[in-house]
Structure formats: structure tokens, C-alpha cells
Amino acid sequence: MSRKRRKLPSGVVYDGPLAEPIYPSFFDVVLGTVEKSAHEQRIRKLPTLLSKYGLDHADPEALMKLALQLAIDHVPGMQIGRARPNSGRPRTWKSGLGEHLVRDVENCRSRSRKKIGVTQAIQYLKRNSPDWGKFEVNTLETRYYEATKELQRKARKAKSVTAAMAAFGISEEIDRDALKARFGNLTISNLKKSKPRE
């Protein structure tokens, strides 16, 4: 049964003499020449290794290039890694949860007979809602204000986009085809390339 070989970053697969270990002979063991014999066999296998990596053994820098290729294939610190794994605690606050919190807090405040503040609404939600019970009140309060700021920023951006569309005479209901008909293939890069009018 053959062992599955690990794929190297270079894509090289060691086969033939490069896949076979060097076994000392009985005489090398008796005479104490195991290292010398192994060294000679390594030297004989070197041209095969160079050709495996596509290197010309006549190139004066061939051994340096081979050393670099071997380091890339076998030394993790020489390889290009994927994105670093996230360290630390896994995120518990998921995307979109802030908007959901703002909606729930505002619903709670509007349904209350008495006028209640954000903190009281959050305390009520923490006690009575399974969605918010796992979070601390101070965490929810911080996330509420962060989400409120983000929603306000999005609203300002939407107003500026609407204003820009109105300046060009475009209604919000206009479709993509109408935009293409009006402006063609106009892109930011086309605008940068065009020369200013004199």
C-alpha cells in the first residue's frame, strides 16, 4: 500500500530515485562509511532534483535557486499563507443585529404607557426577549447607540444620493435601462479620462 504524498506548493512530486530513501549497505555499516556513502548518493541525485524544479545544472545560481525552492516547499515561514486566522473570541454580535435592536427598543418605547428611556426599554427586552437575554444591558445600550449612528449615517447618504438624482432629473423609480439610455456607458474612469471643457 503506497502512502499518499503531500502536494508541495511548487507542485513538484518526488518520484523515482527522489522518492526512495538512501539505505546504507552492510559494508558501509561495518566500515563506518555510512555518511560518506550517503553523501555520494545525494550528489548523484542532485541533477535529478534540479531538473524536477526546472533548473539548469549549468546555471551558476542553480544551487541557490534550488535552496530557495526547497525552502518554499518545506519551510512554513517561507510559504505564502492564506488570510490569517482570526484570533480571539468568536463574534457574538452578528451583522444586522443592531438595526433589529433599534427597532425592538423603539417598539418597546412606543408601546409603553409611560415615557421610558432607552436603558429601561433595553432592560425590559433583556428580561422578556430570548433574542436579547443573552447580552448584558450595558452591551446592548452601547450597540443601540452605535446602530443608531449607523442608521443616521445611512439616512444622510440616502438623502444625498436622492438629491443628486433629483439634480439630474432622475426619479427614484427609474430603472437601470433608463439610466443606460440616458448616460450610456458612463463610468468614473471615463469621467477621469475625459478632458475638461475650455
pLDDT at 145: 92
Neighbours of 136 (CB within 10 A): 10
pTM score above 0.75: no
Instruction: Tell me the angle at which helices 97-111 and 137-167 cross, rounded to the nearest 10 degrees.
Output: 100
Instruction: Tell me the angle at which helices 97-111 and 118-128 cross, rounded to the nearest 10 degrees.
Output: 100
**Mean pLDDT in order along the chain per 10 residues (198 residues):** 66 86 86 89 91 90 91 86 73 82 90 88 90 90 91 82 69 60 58 48
